[in-house]
Chain A
């Protein structure tokens, strides 16, 4: 059968990990199950397994990141791979070297994987189409497109708390327009078969036609949060906003900031998530971010297990260099 998804090899297994869109439930479940078996690696005296010994992984971050870059680096180290972090601001691209030249030079150093973050949508796809056959590419966030490993660590966190996806109502609140995390989450949640996905934001921050993704659009927080099992807050992406999309941060907090009063409309055992970094007092009250329903720090820990799973699965059966 002709395989049109460039993320998959001829056998239908993950070769690159670029987007949730286009992956089937079995792929997502395999990532979650594999991550589950990596989750207790951090509890051993030696916090690593030798599975990617001898592999070289390059973190190629064209955009600032703390959590994602460090958890990808830790994940690679816990799999015993050698990992290099290339800081683009101080690299030769700032001397005028083209992206393709830089890639070919890095490949000449016999690397096996690129983890790519870029402010342009489609950057990781582009790179995956120009690397040697033995090299895998992982998207660590591309423009406003997707951030698939973030979505999978969120799914992992939800599954650990709620076990099943089928009965869940999930609200995603905030800057849906600029959020690659929201896009990946919506694809992951609908692929895993949750009961209902709601997106909540002022009209200016909801992309047109988002209903075609199978989500319900709300502009009122209290209605949107009524009876939900999971509340996912998003960061206001000021760096991507052009023009006056919001009257003021204070007014945004008033209408869409997660406070104890608004959260009381959700189910009593609802969990609160945020991909970070948090703007306290803009998207979320400190009392919620640090409160008993918050799983924000668990998301960070789970990020390591998910990134280990994605790296191990994409380098699985990879032809030898």
Chain B
């Protein structure tokens, strides 16, 4: 399948060919368009874009440029907020989170690369609220896997994919941004 101008397209059966055909720049443009509609009524200096470490941050970086957001880009490393610490332990390379000093009363655009279970978003929301009380949070993901384990969904999404449990989609970057389909036996 060749992606065209996408609003939100759902792929039901996903193969490596489908993934290779995805044009990430098109998806980013679509997302930027949707986000700018959502933040149209806000003052620009009240908007903060925050990406989750590391894939979400790469996407957030592009959106930050395209939308010409004035506040510096934030990054979230949710390692200390995960719900599976007792199962898998600390991530071997924990990076510190960096949020612009005051998020109190600001509109947060939270960006992740892939929404799967929703647990990363849950952890990210908890971390954001430890920095202050934002006026609102919009959640954007490049890919939505449509199989959430928590009541969390995207406000803005580049592409919806229905993958099997054996399939994983990985974003590599930051230049160039590329999606790869990983199939486990």
Q: Judging by beta carbons under 8 Å apart, are B85 and A51 in contact? A: yes
Name the residue of chain B whose CB is nearest to the CB of A318: B86
Stretch at the interface among A41-49, A115-123, A242-250: A41-49
Number of B residues near A (Cβ < 8 Å) is 24
B80 at the interface (CB under 8 A from A): yes
A49-B80, A51-B80 given; A34·B130 CB < 8 A: no
Interface flags for B129-154 (1: CB within 8 Å of A; 0: not) read: 11110000000000000000000000
Give the nearest-CB partner of B131 in chain A: A44
Asked if B94 contacts A37 (CB within 8 A), the reply is yes
Chain A: CB-nearest residue to B98 = A40
Give A316 to B94 CA distance when docked, in angstroms. Answer: 13
Q: Does A33 contact B (CB under 8 A)?
A: yes
The residue from A33, A45, A317 contacting B89, defined by CB atoms under 8 A apart? A317
B residues within 8 A CB of A34?
90, 94
- B105-147 interface code vs A (CB 8 A; 1 in, 0 out): 0000000000000000000001101111000000000000000
User: B85 contacts which chain A residues (CB < 8 A)?
Assistant: 51, 316
Q: How many pairs of residues, A versus B, come closer than 8 Å at their CB atoms?
A: 52
**Smallest beta-carbon distance A16→chain B, Å:** 16
In the complex, whether A95 has a CB less than 8 A from a CB of chain B is no
Say whether A37 contacts B79, CB under 8 Å.
yes
Is A312 in contact with chain B by the CB < 8 A criterion? yes
Residues on B with beta carbons closer than 8 Å to the beta carbon of A316: 85, 89-90
Chain A residues positioned under 8 Å from B79 (CB to CB): 37, 51
- Report the minimal beta-carbon distance from A14 to chain B, rounded to whole angstroms: 11
Cα A38 to Cα B88 with chains together (Å):
19
- B96 and A50: CB pair below 8 A? no
Chain B residue at minimum C-beta to C-beta distance from A317: B89
Q: Contact partner of A37 among B88, B89, B95, B132, CB < 8 A?
A: B95
**C-alpha gap A154/B126 in the complex (Å):** 32
Closest residue of A by beta carbon distance from B102: A45
What's the nearest-Cβ distance from chain B to residue A98, in Å?
32
For B92, what are the chain A residues with a Cβ–Cβ distance below 8 Å? 30
Which residues of B are found within 8 Å of A318, using beta-carbon distances? 86
* B99 to chain A: closest residue by CB: A44
The interface centre, meaning the residue of B82, B90, B97 with most chain A CB atoms within 10 A of its CB, is B90
Residue A313 lies at the interface, judged by CB distance under 8 Å to chain B: yes
Query: Quick one: which of A33, A37, A50, A312 contacts B126, CB cutoff 8 A?
Result: A50
Residue of A nearest to B80 (CB): A49
What B residues does A48 contact at CB under 8 A?
130
A34-B90, A37-B95, A320-B86 are known contacts. Are A50 and B131 too (CB-CB below 8 A)? no
Bound-state Cα–Cα, A151 to B5, Å: 58
Partner of B81, one of A33, A39, A50: A50
Distance between A82 CB and nearest chain B CB, rounded to angstroms: 16
B130 and A46 form a contact (CB under 8 A) = yes
Chain A positions 294-321 with a Cβ under 8 Å from a chain B Cβ: 312-313, 316-318, 320
**A48 to B130 CA separation, bound complex (whole angstroms):** 8
B82's nearest neighbour on chain A, judged by CB, is A51
Tell me if A36 is interfacial: C-beta within 8 Å of chain B. Answer: yes
In whole Å, how far is B182's beta carbon from the nearest beta carbon of chain A?
A: 24
* Chain B min CB distance to A253 (Å): 41
Q: Does any Cβ of A come within 8 Å of B77's Cβ? A: yes
**CA–CA, A38 to B98, complex, Å?**
12
Report B69 CB to chain A, min CB distance, Å. 22
Q: A45-B132, A50-B126, A320-B86 are in contact. Are A33 and B97 (CB under 8 A)?
A: no
Q: Nearest chain B CB to A55's CB is how many angstroms away?
A: 9
Q: Is the CB of A40 within 8 A of B96?
A: yes
B12 at the interface (CB under 8 A from A): no
Given A30-B92, A46-B129, 6 more pairs with CB closer than 8 A: A37-B95, A37-B96, A39-B96, A46-B130, A50-B126, A320-B86
Q: List 12 A-B contacts (CB under 8 A).
A: A33-B94, A34-B90, A37-B96, A38-B80, A45-B132, A46-B130, A48-B130, A49-B80, A51-B80, A51-B81, A51-B82, A317-B86
Q: Which 6 A-B pairs have the closest CB atoms?
A: A49-B80, A317-B89, A46-B130, A316-B89, A37-B96, A37-B94
Q: Which B residues fall within an 8 A CB radius of A? A: 77, 79-82, 85-86, 88-90, 92-98, 104, 126-127, 129-132
